[in-house]
Structure 1
Amino acid sequence: MAMKDSEPDFRPVLNITIWILAASSGSFLGLRIWGKHQRGRKLWWDDGILIAAWICLLLSCILQSVDTHFGFGQRDADVTSQDILDMTRLVSVVAGFFLVLAAAWSKTSFALTLLRLTIPTKKCFSVRGMIWFAIWSTNLAIAASGVFQWAQCWPLDKLWRQWLPGQCLRLGIVNGYNMFVAAYSGLMDITLAMLPCKIFYPLRIQRDEKIGIVVAMGMGIFAGATSFMKIFAIYNINRIAAGPEHVVVLMILGTAESAITIMAVSMPVLRTLLMGRDKT
């Protein structure tokens, strides 16, 4: 069934935006790996986890694009059959789960990169402790969100076949927790982005080097801002009259959050490559 002319189609916006984000973050990641190879540096845990995060981001983008082919981004009434509607819901759940993994792992890579830039001394003990706290608390909070995503309905397939008999947690409970995770995740993003100021300010390196590294890592602030924006998107979905545009916005913001984090983690390596020095 074709969409009526009076009803907007959000699928082109979703596809264009997520693939720009995937391509941009993939380019930054590729340059990061190439830069380390050029400088004769081996890949470390933060690199491996960052690669895994981008793969999850890529898989989510593929699934989101496939889902738009079946009708994701349209109103339910415009989808041609119940089976296709069920399929779009299932694919969107899987795509969302990959975004959860991408968010958790990209933030972990960000934190691990900071750990490598701090010397384990008494002065840096509090900084390293804060980083480890951010790693564990953020991963636990996001992991619980992933569990909620799959365990909110019983039987399981009622999650995408909403017409089946069974029960689901109230949408307000699930979205309420997801709003908390978005807020906490954004707070940790901003905290980690500000830590380079404390790490590098006391060091005896050139001022422009300090500023460059801090600004590069400070891109994580934008990831935190994106995470905060997800709070409002989730709130809109929780409303009774929420339309497909609100779900599309949430998927775009979820994609942007991980993509920006991947670019932020890659910035210091790219900068040192351009400057002809290797600080990581």
Structure 2
Amino acid sequence: MGSSEDWTGAYSDAGNNDPHENQGPLLVRTCWALIAISIIVVGGRLYAKIYKTRRLYWDDGLMILALIFGIIHAATITEAAHYGLGKHLAYLSDEARSNTMRVGIFTLLWAMISPMFGRMSFLVSLLYLTGTDVRVSRWPIWAFIALQFIINVVAIIVFFTQCGNQLDILWSEDLGDLAKFLTVCKDPIIQTDLGYFQGAFNTLTDAFLTLMPAVLIKHTTLSARAKVGLYALLCLSVLALVASIVKTYEARVLHKILDYTYDLSMYVIALSVELNVVIITSSVPFLRPLFERKHNASAQLERMQRQWDTSTVGSVFSKKSGARMNLSRVDSEENSILPDGNYQSTESIQMQQPGGAIQVTQEVSVSYETNDVPHVHAALVGLLQGEINNPRLVRK
């Protein structure tokens, strides 16, 4: 990276930039617009889970953590922009520079933790879904859950220990102390390389989260049209994959220590986009129960009677072990689950209209047993798995 004299000279050259250039407002608008969408989507997800199942699960708990850290990230970005994030370092007062760097550095912490929990949430959701299909091995999901936590936590530790116990060098008001960065702290290129590695693994995780649902959908007996709809719903992690690639590319700025308050702007936006895309794409599949579809057997056919079968499910938020609850059935070609206070055991419904009767037969009727969390989630997203129609299959 060169000597401290080179660093000081380069810092002086930063004064050639436009003093009025400020990307702070763009950072704030982008972060809050994205987190607002995430709040709406996660809120809908939680409402759907509670409304349909009266419970929340481990994947929901992880997603709530992801959203909380995402909100903290947006709040700290706002504070950092107030001090000077988005402006050129040379035009900030010593106090403004110190506050901007101090707050800005910690925004990176929330930006790494939030998508980590978001990806772990969807991995747990997939763990539930694969529990309904014995043809799919579950150990790769467990491996990604463990690695997602380990790699991201290690990256966080390395970043915040890069200067040993003198991390405050990064935001010291004394330029003399700041110039010690090259001698006290690790070479900034390490942060860039680590950022590339972390980003590459997160991209690999997003690719896995895109392909695994496709395998599950392939094993279903749904119509081609229904499968296409599920592909669009469950394989949205491809968007997170793209966002992760962009963020990884922007990590190249991590070794540029000169104009940090300005150079980090696009990287901060990329981080915000990534963490919110992860939250949104992991939650959208669970919004499905909120959008009911009517059966069109006849122009005069009223809405079909659809009801709940009984099941018991443990919940991460249950106070008592083995908590019980009522849950849905998976029925019809669309595998809808809709609440109804009455229980009906018939397999068909007859409805009268002029000229005769119309008989609508439910294609599938399944009653789930104790602790059947996998089929709960399969029903929520509209996924009818191979184990139901192939009971003799043996799990790999």
Q: Give TM-score, length-normalised by structure 2.
A: 0.65
Report 1:5-20 matches (<5 A).
Answer: 7-20=20-33
- 1:176-212 Cα offsets, whole Å, 9 max, x none, are 1111111111121012111111012112234333322
More helix by share: 1
| Partner in structure 2 of residue 217 of structure 1 | 234
- For 2:3, the equivalent position in structure 1 comes to none
Structure showing greater radius of gyration is 2
**In 2, distance between residues paired with 1:178 and 1:232?**
9
**Does the 8 Å CA contact 2:115/2:279 hold for their aligned counterparts?**
no
Q: 1:181 matched to which residue of 2?
A: 198
Does 2:161 match 1:148?
A: no
Q: Structure 1 residues 15, 42: CA separation in 2 closer, same or farther (over 3 Å shift)?
A: same
Q: Which runs of 5+ in 2 are unaligned?
A: 1-16, 294-335, 338-378, 381-396
- What is the one-letter code of the residue matched to 1:8? E
Are 2:40 and 1:40 aligned? no
Post-superposition offset of 1:241:
6.8
CA RMSD of aligned residues (A): 2.1
Change over 3 Å in CA distance of 1:158–1:239 after alignment to 2: closer
The question of 1:252 aligning with 2:269 is answered: yes
Which residue pairs with 2:170 in the alignment? 159
Aligned residues: 274
- Aligned 8 A contact 1:226 1:257 in 2: yes
Distance across 1 between alignment mates of 2:69 and 2:257 = 31
Among the aligned pairs, what percent are the same residue? 23
Rounded to whole Å, the distance in 1 between the matches of 2:256 and 2:19 is 22
Displacement of 1:246 after TM fit?
3.4
| Distance in 1, Cα, partners of 2:117 & 2:74 | 16
Alignment pair present for 1:60 and 2:73: yes
Alpha-carbon distance in structure 1 between the residues aligned to 2:159 and 2:211: 31
Q: CA deviation at 1:86?
A: 1.3
Pairing partner for 1:100 from 105, 109, 112: 112
> What is the distance in 2 between the residues matched to 1:245 and 1:88?
11
Matching residue of 1:134: 144
Following TM superposition, by how much is the alpha carbon of 1:217 offset from its aligned partner in structure 2, in angstroms?
Answer: 2.3
Aligned to 1:83: 95
Whether contact under 8 Å (1:89, 1:160) holds in the other structure is: yes
Q: Distance in 2 between matches of 1:238 and 1:178?
A: 10
The alignment partner of 1:117 has SS state of helix
Counterpart position of 1:29: 42
Q: Distance in 2 between matches of 1:255 and 1:116?
A: 28
